[in-house]
Amino acid sequence: MRNVFLFIRRHFNFLFFLVLQIVALSFLFRYNRFHEAAFLNVSTAVTGRINEHYNDIEYYFQLKKTNDALVRENLRLRQQLKENYEGPDSAQRIISDTIKVDSGRSILKYKILEAKVINNTTSLQNNYLTIHRGFAQGVRPNMGVVGPQGIVGSVVNVSENFAIVMSMLHRNFGLVARLKKGGETGTIDWDGVSPLYVNFRGITKSAKIAVGDTIITTQTSSLFPANLMIGTVHDIVPDNTSNFYVLKIKPATNFFNIEYAYVIDNLQYNEQKRLEDSTRKKIQ
């Protein structure tokens, strides 16, 4: 306290001048419209700059919360996609331009679970991802996994709180897919060469294909709903030993920076698998 009084005493004249200057300026800005307007313009600009930098700093520290909110919102929207609902075939059909959501979930086929990617490889022959969801959160093997842009892979191993996902960049990964434009179907696989591209095989040379065409999932997949994005055609390579193309596909998912994923739970998977297995046993 003594130092404060000594400082004021030493610089009294300067401090008194500042006080008088502030009082004079306040009178000037308060009772002179031109100077008041000029002062408001300057103060608004300065305050705006300060608030802008403050908001940038605050936004940076709120990024995690913002990402989590976006993931939850995407989850809610994905769950409402019409591809997640499947009604029984009937001789009479009612066509509606809105998505019917059955509160009893009697026709809900796919349930979506969000998950954070905590580990990922892209440089191996057989690449995997680790997600922070497991048995305790409803994940089991043979579930499809997608990212915000497209297909990621399928669950192959699960612990209580974690799951291992076979990436689309895996030599053993396979998926039936189709051309969105023409409807021709083929299979997706990876040759282990470049993590930037996968192969699309089984498309006949009579099909009309162009670079940039979209590849999507089919309704025959037990892991994924139909019409999910897989990638786009990057190159068309004719196979000289057959009547088929080998298409180079650029995946929609960027495997180098994926942070969040969605696990797809096919609620009718077990019923379908039991029926197919029992049918095979009867035929054999």
pLDDT digits (tens, 9 = 90+) for 75-116: 666 666 666 665 544 443 433 334 444 554 457 788 888 888
How many angstroms separate the CA atoms of 122 and 194, rounded?
9
Query: Residue 17's pLDDT is what?
Result: 78
Task: Answer whether residue 190 is part of any domain.
Answer: yes
266: pLDDT confidence band, cut at 50, 70 and 90? confident
138, pLDDT greater than 70: yes
Closest to 166 measured CA to CA, from 154, 175, 158, 151: 154
Looking at the structure, tell me whether residues 45 and 116 fall in a common domain: no
Query: Residue 92's pLDDT is what?
Result: 39
Query: Residue 148's pLDDT is what?
Result: 86
Looking at the structure, tell me whether residues 165 and 133 fall in a common domain: yes
Query: Residue 104's pLDDT is what?
Result: 47
153, pLDDT greater than 90: yes
Closest to 228 measured CA to CA, from 113, 174, 169, 151: 151
**Which phi and psi (to 5°) does residue 107 adopt?**
-115, 5
Reported in sequence order, the residue ranges of 149-196 that DSSP labels E, i.e. its strands, are 151-158, 163-170, 175-179, 185-189
CATH number of the domain encompassing residue 195? 2.40.10.340
Which of 6-10, 18-22, 149-153 tops mean pLDDT?
149-153
pLDDT per position as a tens digit, 243-260: 888 999 999 999 998 888
Domain that holds residue 25: 2-61
Looking at the structure, tell me whether residues 214 and 238 fall in a common domain: yes
Looking at the structure, tell me whether residues 48 and 80 fall in a common domain: no
Looking at the structure, tell me whether residues 71 and 54 fall in a common domain: no
Looking at the structure, tell me whether residues 47 and 72 fall in a common domain: no
Share of the chain above pLDDT 70, in %: 71
Domain count, the chain: 2
222, pLDDT greater than 50: yes
Looking at the structure, tell me whether residues 134 and 27 fall in a common domain: no
Residue ranges in 62-179 assigned as alpha helix (H): 63-79
Classified as helix, coil or strand, 93 is: coil
Looking at the structure, tell me whether residues 216 and 122 fall in a common domain: yes
Closest to 202 measured CA to CA, from 222, 233, 176, 163: 176
pLDDT per position as a tens digit, 162-176: 999 999 999 999 999
Query: Residue 33's pLDDT is what?
Result: 64
Tell how strand 163-170 and strand 126-131 pair up: antiparallel
How many angstroms separate the CA atoms of 184 and 201, rounded?
11
Looking at the structure, tell me whether residues 125 and 153 fall in a common domain: yes
176 forms beta bridges with: 187
How many angstroms separate the CA atoms of 29 and 51, rounded?
23
Looking at the structure, tell me whether residues 114 and 145 fall in a common domain: yes
Query: Residue 94's pLDDT is what?
Result: 36
CB 150 within 8 A of CB 251: yes
CA distances for 98 relative to 80, 82, 101, angstroms: 11, 9, 9
